[in-house]
């Protein structure tokens, strides 16, 4: 029988039948330590009882109504999110790409109302904003765009972490800047101190919207509710998704200031976005993050893990950089290392390699001290073996 699924994913040779906390169990009963959390989705780990209870209760009550009607639990989640972000309004979608599409539409409408016939958004190199067409056009990865043209126009690409380049791109058509406060898919790239403040000042000077994609970095992963809160700024638009529902599909586009009232009735919509089931999951996530002090936990464990990686790996030839914030950690090597994903899987550890040579770690925020040590031990051993093999290929000895 042929595979009924479109081959859009290069899948690893494992499937999981259940999960609990930081662990997944495959169909043969083998347990795997999850240092990826579904790419930053399961911040509370797998099958968290608070989320499971909320979903079961809501599923027995009401799963879906159209956005033609008021949805009280959606209003409750919206109120919590805008308060946490210091913004004013929210639009709910189903994913990060949809949340970014909402932000892009919002920026264009904002521009048109200011008399800009062809509004443009500044976007950054190495960015990843999703795979729908407008989000793909905003994405700074040529290989992801290849073959899908013509892509929507209206984006101007600038180097990441370079406020001077953003300033130099200013012209009458620019209406907004869209960046990730930490680039995830691009290689866990943390910008220099002052970068977001500089963009904020630039946007204020020109009347642009500052729009931050926190699809991967949001909901506590960096030790704050949102990564921008490390920098003491207030953006105009913030997009969320991944960890917001702990696995239940939900995205959000938050807006404040001049962006708060741009979208109105008929300007945008979503059939499933913010339905009662997804919003109950979102409320359970926020309640649990607050109750269990998981933001502080992410910051503490992130610092501890990065310190261990620095001590064990930074002195070695072939390790370019160890970086991150909270439990969003990248280890960049000199040479490509995608094979480490499979080798980690053999040792029952789930990791990811992005940008070809950056080991990306995004474990659940419920990670225990012992589990963090196990991740560190395994990753350090894998990197040393990789470096030794690379050195052997070159006929040298690793430092």
Residue 4 inside a domain? The answer is: no
The encoded tokens of residue 298 equal 């992410």
List 92, 128, 155, 309, catalytic entry:
128
Q: What average pLDDT does this structure show over 205-217?
A: 98
Q: Terminal CA-to-CA distance of the chain, rounded, Å? A: 51
Say yes or no: 251 and 279 in one domain: yes
| Residue 226 bears catalytic tag | no
397 pLDDT above the threshold of 80: no
In the structure, what pLDDT confidence band is assigned to residue 380 with cuts at 50, 70 and 90?
Answer: very high
Residue 213 assigned as binding residue: yes
Contact assessment for residue 378 and residue 349, using Cβ atoms and an 8 Å cutoff: yes
- Of residues 317, 355, 322, 349, the one with CA closest to residue 336: 355
Name the DSSP class of 88: S
Name the DSSP class of 46: B
Q: pLDDT for 48-107, tens place per residue?
A: 999 999 999 999 999 999 999 999 999 999 999 999 999 999 999 999 999 999 999 999
pTM: 0.97
> What pLDDT, on a 0 to 100 scale, did the predictor assign at position 117?
97
Q: pLDDT for 136-152, tens place per residue?
A: 999 998 999 999 999 99
Residue 62 inside a domain? The answer is: yes
Q: What average pLDDT does this structure show over 186-215?
A: 98
Q: What average pLDDT does this structure show over 30-54?
A: 98
Residue 58 assigned as binding residue: no
Residue 128 assigned as binding residue: yes
Range of the domain at 203: 49-292
Say yes or no: 151 and 249 in one domain: yes
Residue 11 inside a domain? The answer is: no
CATH code, domain carrying 314: 3.90.1150.10
User: Which residue intervals of the chain are DSSP H helices?
Assistant: 37-40, 49-61, 72-85, 96-113, 133-138, 142-145, 163-168, 195-206, 276-291, 294-313, 339-346, 369-394
Say yes or no: 269 and 288 in one domain: yes
Say yes or no: 191 and 308 in one domain: no
List 34, 92, 213, 309, catalytic entry:
213
Q: pLDDT for 314-361, tens place per residue?
A: 999 999 999 999 999 999 999 999 999 999 999 999 999 999 999 999
Q: What average pLDDT does this structure show over 260-282?
A: 97
Residue 97 assigned as binding residue: yes
Residue 8 inside a domain? The answer is: no
Say yes or no: 376 and 316 in one domain: yes
List 34, 92, 242, 309, catalytic entry:
242
Residue 238 assigned as binding residue: no
- Of residues 312, 308, 306, the one with CA closest to residue 325: 306
305 pLDDT above the threshold of 70: yes
Average pLDDT along the chain: 97
Residue 216 assigned as binding residue: yes
Residue 10 inside a domain? The answer is: no
399 pLDDT above the threshold of 70: no
> What pLDDT, on a 0 to 100 scale, did the predictor assign at position 398?
59
Residue 74 assigned as binding residue: no
Last residue of a domain, one of 235, 264, 292: 292
| Residue 10 bears catalytic tag | no
Residue 123 assigned as binding residue: no
Q: What average pLDDT does this structure show over 185-191?
A: 97
395 pLDDT above the threshold of 90: no
135 pLDDT above the threshold of 90: yes
Residue 324's DSSP bridge partners are 329
CATH code, domain carrying 231: 3.40.640.10
Say yes or no: 78 and 201 in one domain: yes
| Residue 128 bears catalytic tag | yes
Say yes or no: 339 and 279 in one domain: no
Last residue of a domain, one of 292, 318, 343: 292
Q: Are strands 209-213 and 174-179 parallel, antiparallel or unpaired?
A: parallel
Say yes or no: 256 and 360 in one domain: no
Q: pLDDT for 224-252, tens place per residue?
A: 999 999 999 999 999 999 999 999 999 99
The encoded tokens of residue 64 equal 């879906």
The encoded tokens of residue 320 equal 């370019």
Residue 332's DSSP bridge partners are 321, 358
Say yes or no: 314 and 341 in one domain: yes
Dihedral sign (CA 342, 249, 218, 269): positive
């Amino acid at each position: 029988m042929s595979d009924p699924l479109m081959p859009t994913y290069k899948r690893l040779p494992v499937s999981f039948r259940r999960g609990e906390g930081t662990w997944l169990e495959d169909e043969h009963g083998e347990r795997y330590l999850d240092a990826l959390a579904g790419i930053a989705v399961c911040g509370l780990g797998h099958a968290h009882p608070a989320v499971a209870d909320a979903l079961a209760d809501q599923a027995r009550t009401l799963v879906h109504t159209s956005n033609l009607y008021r949805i009280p639990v959606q209003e409750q989640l919206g109120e919590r999110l805008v308060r946490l972000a210091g913004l004013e309004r929210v639009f709910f979608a189903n994913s990060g790409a949809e949340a970014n599409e909402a932000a892009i539409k919002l920026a264009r409408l904002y521009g048109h109302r200011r008399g800009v016939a062809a509004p443009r958004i500044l976007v950054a190199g190495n960015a990843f904003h999703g795979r729908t067409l407008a989000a793909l056009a905003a994405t700074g990865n040529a290989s992801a765009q290849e073959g899908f043209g013509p892509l929507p126009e209206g984006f101007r690409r600038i180097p990441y972490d370079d406020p001077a380049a953003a300033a130099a791109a200013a012209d009458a058509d620019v209406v907004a800047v869209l960046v990730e406060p930490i680039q995830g898919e691009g290689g866990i790239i943390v910008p220099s101190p002052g970068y977001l403040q500089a963009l904020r000042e630039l946007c204020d000077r020109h009347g642009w919207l500052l729009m931050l994609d926190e699809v991967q970095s949001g909901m506590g992963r960096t030790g704050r509710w949102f990564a921008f809160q490390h920098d003491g700024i207030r953006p105009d638009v913030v997009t969320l998704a991944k960890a917001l529902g702990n696995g239940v599909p939900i995205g959000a586009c938050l807006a404040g200031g001049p962006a708060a009232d741009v979208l109105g009735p008929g300007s945008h919509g979503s059939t499933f976005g913010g339905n009662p089931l997804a919003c109950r999951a979102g409320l359970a996530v926020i309640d649990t993050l607050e109750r269990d002090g998981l933001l502080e936990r992410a910051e503490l464990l992130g610092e501890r893990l990065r310190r261990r990686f620095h001590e064990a790996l930074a002195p070695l030839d072939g390790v370019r950089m160890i970086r991150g914030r909270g439990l969003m950690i990248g280890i960049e090597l000199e040479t490509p290392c995608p094979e480490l994903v499979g080798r980690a899987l053999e040792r029952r550890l789930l990791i990811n390699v992005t940008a070809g040579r950056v080991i990306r770690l995004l474990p659940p925020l419920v990670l225990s001290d012992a589990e963090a040590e196990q991740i560190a031990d395994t990753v350090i051993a894998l990197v040393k073996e990789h470096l030794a093999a690379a050195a052997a290929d070159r006929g040298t000895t690793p430092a």
